[in-house]
């Protein structure tokens, strides 16, 4: 729960978190080392100085620490924990659903565990979707279209195999499709994170929501264009939000574009933990005001109501979380913990 300076309670769902193991012991090759090194460079270059972690802690952290950073020291009420396999880089995967679910089990009512699949697996991808639904009851997945696999350097949401997976997701009620469309961490072909495939998939699968993580940056204009056309396309703020610290004017420009094109009902907060911790992000976001010139130019404002939607209410709607009931549950849990 985030308490505003005026004492108001704001319900926070962190839409994008990870519980990874990027430690040297789990690295399969130089790519595994370079991947976590690159994340660490993101962490060091965009975090406030006093929020920096030592490298070894960043490579692998405990479930207890994650719980503390998000819910005790941090303002999150709930967090969506995403799965990313990167099986070609890490011996037992970077953050698999099994690792995530194991962690989530310890902290009742806190985590929404999302799965992942790779349509290039063909039949096995379909079986895996069934398995994740039956075993973990997933409501969403995180897809990584730029992931390497054998000779392949990426895939598209419009691939026939991907469409078969989406048909199944729609049928099973796995309705939230988070897609990483962001900075080219893995470069491959420059088009691997191109956002245009979202347009077609979103049109063809009206029963699914497509949450575009990182808002397609650095292809924000393409993303905005698609989000205007498609009612089921959302934007995740992970990676865009940390600019609020080092380059607030730049963040203001990005959020103004998003508010204008995409609208406050379709933007989701995400810390991208453990690249960044949520507390400073939420505090700065709540205190952030759009500069007057941008307000006037775009005719938009980042009102307290818009902030509440972005911080939690939008994700609650997508994941069917009854905010009042959830608050009561968590309050009871906290009381039980305190008493026990």
Partner 1 sequence: MNAPLLKHDRRTSEVWQRLALVTDPELDESVTDLGFVEHVTVGDDGDVDIVFRLPTYWCSANFAFLMADDMRRAVSSLPWVREARPQLRDHMVADEINRGVREGRSFADALREFAPAGSLDELRDKFRRKAFERRQEIMILALRGLGYEDPEICRMSLHSFDEVEFASPDVARQKPRYRELLIEVGLACLPEDRAFVAYEGAPIRRHELASYLQRLRGVRINMEFNSSLCRGLLAVRNREFADGSPGRTPSPCGGCGSRCAAPSGST
3-state DSSP call for residue 238?
Answer: coil
Residue closer to partner 1 (CB basis): 151 or 324: 151
Give yes or no for residue 123 binding partner 1 (CB under 8 A): no
Q: How far apart are CA 261 and CA 263, in angstroms?
A: 6
Nearest to 288 by CA among 314, 240, 255, 261: 255
Residue numbers 274-333 binding partner 1 by CB under 8 A: none
118-127 residues labelled b (16+ CB within 10 A) or e (exposed): bbbeeeebbe
Cβ partners under 8 Å of residue 157, min gap 6: 143, 145, 166, 179, 197, 198, 200, 201
Give yes or no for residue 156 binding partner 1 (CB under 8 A): no
Token pair for residue 104?
A: 């989530």
For residue 90, the 8-state DSSP code is B
Q: Of the listed pieces 50-58, 107-115, 281-289, 325-333, which binds partner 1 according to CB under 8 A?
A: 50-58
Give yes or no for residue 246 binding partner 1 (CB under 8 A): yes
Q: Of the listed pieces 15-23, 89-97, 100-108, 186-194, which binds partner 1 according to CB under 8 A?
A: 186-194
Token pair for residue 331?
A: 């309050």
Give yes or no for residue 191 binding partner 1 (CB under 8 A): yes
Give yes or no for residue 183 binding partner 1 (CB under 8 A): yes
In the beta sheet, which residues pair with residue 236? 213, 268
Binds partner 1 by CB under 8 A, chosen from 169, 217, 226, 274 = 217
Q: Of the listed pieces 82-90, 180-188, 299-307, 309-317, which binds partner 1 according to CB under 8 A?
A: 180-188
The residues of the shown chain that bind partner 1, judged by CB under 8 A, are 31, 34-35, 37-38, 40-42, 44-49, 51-56, 151, 153, 183-191, 217-221, 224, 240, 243, 245-247, 250, 253-254, 257
């Amino acid at each position: 729960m985030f308490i505003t300076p005026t004492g108001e309670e704001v319900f926070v769902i962190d839409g994008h978190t990870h519980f990874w193991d990027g430690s040297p012991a789990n690295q399969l090759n130089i790519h595994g080392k370079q991947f976590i090194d690159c994340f660490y460079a993101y962490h060091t270059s965009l975090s406030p100085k006093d929020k920096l972690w030592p490298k070894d802690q960043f490579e692998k952290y405990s479930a207890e620490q994650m719980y503390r950073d998000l819910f005790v020291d941090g303002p999150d009420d709930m967090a969506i924990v995403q799965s990313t396999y990167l099986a070609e880089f890490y011996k037992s995967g970077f953050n698999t659903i099994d690792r995530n679910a194991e962690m989530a089990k310890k902290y009742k009512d806190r985590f929404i565990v999302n799965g992942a699949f790779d349509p290039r697996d063909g039949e096995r991808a379909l079986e895996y979707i069934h398995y994740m639904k039956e075993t973990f009851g997933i409501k969403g997945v995180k897809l990584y279209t730029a992931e390497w696999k054998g000779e392949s350097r990426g895939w598209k949401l419009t691939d026939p195999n991907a469409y078969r997976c989406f048909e199944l997701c729609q049928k099973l009620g796995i309705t939230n499709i988070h897609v990483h469309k962001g900075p080219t961490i893995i470069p491959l072909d420059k088009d691997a994170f191109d956002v245009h495939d979202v347009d077609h998939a979103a049109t063809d699968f009206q029963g699914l929501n497509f949450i575009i993580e990182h808002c397609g940056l650095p292809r924000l204009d393409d993303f905005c264009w698609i989000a205007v056309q498609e009612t089921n396309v959302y934007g995740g703020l992970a990676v865009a939000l940390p600019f609020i610290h080092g380059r607030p004017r730049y963040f203001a420009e990005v959020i103004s574009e998003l508010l204008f094109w995409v609208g406050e009902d379709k933007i989701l907060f995400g810390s991208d933990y453990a690249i960044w911790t949520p507390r400073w992000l939420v505090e700065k976001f709540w205190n952030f005001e759009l500069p007057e010139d941008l307000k006037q130019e775009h005719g938009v404002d980042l009102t307290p109501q818009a902030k509440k939607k972005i911080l939690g209410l939008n994700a609650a709607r997508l994941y069917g979380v009854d905010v009042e009931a959830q608050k009561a549950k968590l309050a009871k849990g906290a009381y039980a913990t305190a008493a026990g």
